[in-house]
Amino acid sequence: MKITPVILSGGAGTRLWPVSRELFPKQLMPLVGERTMLQETVQRLPGLTAHQIEYDAPLVICNEEHRFMVAEQLRAIDVHGASILLEPIGRNTAPALTLAALHQMQGGHDATLLVMPADHVIQNVDAFHDAVAIGARLAQQQRLVTFGIVPHEPVTGYGYIRKGDSLKEEQAFGIAAFVEKPDLATAQEYVASGNYLWNSGMFMMRASVWLDQINRFRPDILAACRKALEGATSDHDFCRLDKAAFSACPSDSIDYAVMEKVESLGVVVPLDAGWSDVGAWTALWDVLPKDDSGNVIKGDVLTYKTSNSMLMGNTRLLAAVGVDDLLVIETADAVLVANKNSAQDVKTIVQMLQKDNRSERLSHRRVHRPWGTYESIDNGGRYQVKHITVKPGAALSLQMHHHRAEHWVVVSGTARVTRGEEVFVVTENQSTFIPIGTKHRLENPGKVLLEMIEVQSGPYLGEDDIVRFEDVYGRSSS
């Protein structure tokens, strides 16, 4: 049996602000281990072969803004041949799965799809493999499978699934009902009854079966996705959807659009595998190692008479004295202080940032680009100072600025600079100057990281003051 992993990587992780941001969300970060959550999701697949299940290279559906980070993270774990579908705008999980199914059927391949969000933690991978094997057999029987997490405590932040009749041939159940997030008393009743599972957001089904059902219940979603894929263009490793067509697609979840309506076709496979969707800071606190006082500590942190807290320092010393049940999360440009009981309310801060059009909701000071990174380290009314790193062999676009000049100082490595008609090399402790309105390009021809300090000066310093003429990453202004 062969399956196609479909990885949904479109979320923004707003409740994990200030670490997770719109342009650098939680699934692209190493929050639990050394690898990012996306990488952990992909590397959960080996071991399925013990159940006689082979798998194709993954199909990843992500936001267009994240495309280079997704591709780079897959290459970093030696995953090649992945298909990456780029959503120009988020439209929830039902359109994402519909795109995946249509994409697979384009080549006449009625794949069995294993649908996994990229931001889940699963501690017992063997148990996950066992559940997937059950789901694969049921998918071959034209069933739509979801995985329900065996609850160990009443939680109000998850939706629940009420189990129906047991399937005698498999360790699975019919679906009696999908239930909205309950209050605490109701959640306690659910867990005590033994008849409810947490709704994991993971699914398994044949591509053709999903398309039949989405056409039955939401033909408008199917039509919009088909149009978006028909108008798609190939761009390096990516499939770029038609923006106008996909923007017109209704937004809906897999549950609401189909799973709640399919009656006997839907089944749930219980999964008891140390699962978490890491939807809030408390969920991350639950799965990370703690010290003797119940604290999760990451970074340069000192504590005294502090307990049951999560303390994360990213850029400076963080000290906590005499506190309990707190979340203190420090980044270069923001600090979150919250009671653990209010962890779900962090998203309200993000909404406030969005309302005020503040950059702290979008990105960190260090911004990732396909060629490397840049980080703003100082700025004023008419100047900005950046620390720029360029990967070996990488190059920025040939570009021009209408409103700013740039001074470049190489700190380490070697830079090849194009300035107008000139091409020359700048080495460590040397500098150069790019006047306003001059075409220029920065490249790293060496085998080590290029690091440099850039001082911008001029009346306008926004990132949108870039006219690109040539770009190996397909970002030319033309």
Please tell me whether residues 380 and 346 are part of one structural domain: no
Please tell me whether residues 86 and 214 are part of one structural domain: yes
Q: Among the three residues 276, 307, 324, which one is the final residue of a domain in this structure?
A: 276
> Rounded to an integer, what distance in angstroms lies between the CA atom of residue 419 and that of residue 434?
7
What is the reported pTM?
Answer: 0.90
Please tell me whether residues 309 and 454 are part of one structural domain: no
Please tell me whether residues 123 and 241 are part of one structural domain: yes
The number of distinct structural domains making up the chain is: 3
Owning domain of residue 437: 366-470
Q: Measuring CA to CA, how many Å separate 310 from each of 16, 249, 327, 333, 360?
A: 12, 40, 5, 19, 21
Please tell me whether residues 408 and 327 are part of one structural domain: no
Query: What is the phi-psi region of residue 86: left when phi exceeds 0, alpha when psi lies from -120 to 50, beta otherwise?
Result: beta
Q: Among the three residues 255, 276, 297, which one is the final residue of a domain in this structure?
A: 276
**CATH code of the domain covering residue 373:** 2.60.120.10
Please tell me whether residues 304 and 374 are part of one structural domain: no
The amino acid at residue 319 is A
> Rounded to an integer, what distance in angstroms lies between the CA atom of residue 461 and that of residue 330?
27
Write out the chain's pLDDT in tens, 478 residues.
899 999 999 888 899 999 999 999 999 999 998 999 999 999 999 999 999 999 999 999 999 989 999 999 999 999 999 999 999 999 999 999 999 999 999 878 899 999 999 999 999 999 999 999 999 999 999 999 999 999 999 988 899 999 999 998 889 999 999 999 999 999 999 999 999 999 999 999 999 999 999 999 999 999 999 999 999 998 777 999 999 999 999 999 999 999 999 988 999 999 999 999 998 999 999 999 999 999 999 999 999 999 999 999 999 999 999 999 999 999 999 999 999 999 999 999 999 999 999 999 999 999 989 899 999 999 998 999 999 999 999 999 999 999 999 999 999 999 999 999 999 999 999 999 999 999 999 999 999 999 999 999 999 998 889 999 998 887 665 4
Please tell me whether residues 447 and 425 are part of one structural domain: yes
- 435 inside domain: yes
Please tell me whether residues 211 and 63 are part of one structural domain: yes
**CATH code of the domain covering residue 64:** 3.90.550.10
Please tell me whether residues 250 and 288 are part of one structural domain: no
- 478 inside domain: no
Q: Among the three residues 276, 307, 326, which one is the final residue of a domain in this structure?
A: 276
